[in-house]
Structure 1
Amino acid sequence: MVILNKYPLRGIAITTSILSYLSGSTIVGILLGRWLDQYFETSPLFLIIGLLIGLASGVYGMIVLVKKFLGDE
């Protein structure tokens, strides 16, 4: 992690990007799931599915971002 110590703004940028990937996709998944629950009148089914899909896509996006940042393929 020499890069983060040498360039502190890069560390802030990667931290902010990771946070936005994880929280943004989770919030979108929850909101979409709640909307589908209201539309189809199913209680927490689509909310849970949306939460899991949002978390999975956020983690996947975070892994791709960190690999790109570190230069791994």
Structure 2
Amino acid sequence: MIVLAQTPNRHPFKAMALYSAILSQLVGSILIGIFFGRWLDQAWSTTPLFLIIGLLVGLTSGILAMLASVRHFTSGDK
């Protein structure tokens, strides 16, 4: 017999807020990195260099912000 652990009252709006925060942080930071990299490439005529750097910096900052948000949302659960 499998006994599932009962979880305290989980609020669906809290989960939706977490998913929205994760999505907006990841997509937003990646897009900002890409557009800033393309702008630098056009200004300095270095076609793919800053686009790739901006993508990687945006992805890294998005993941770090996502991890901070997950820690913040899950710290209140006991």
TM-score (norm 1): 0.90
Structure showing greater Rg = 2
- State the identity as a percent: 49
* Residue ranges of structure 1 left out of the alignment (5+ in a row): none
| 1:35-65 deviation line (CA, Å, top 9, x unaligned) | 0000000110000000000000000000011
* Residue ranges of structure 2 left out of the alignment (5+ in a row): 1-6
| 1:11-34 deviation line (CA, Å, top 9, x unaligned) | 110000000000000000000000
Moved segments of 4+, more than 3 Å: none
Q: In 2, Cα distance between the equivalents of 1:67 and 1:6?
A: 16
Instruction: Name the count of aligned residue pairs.
Output: 70
Q: In 1, Cα distance between the equivalents of 2:73 and 2:20?
A: 13
Cα RMSD, aligned residues only:
1.6
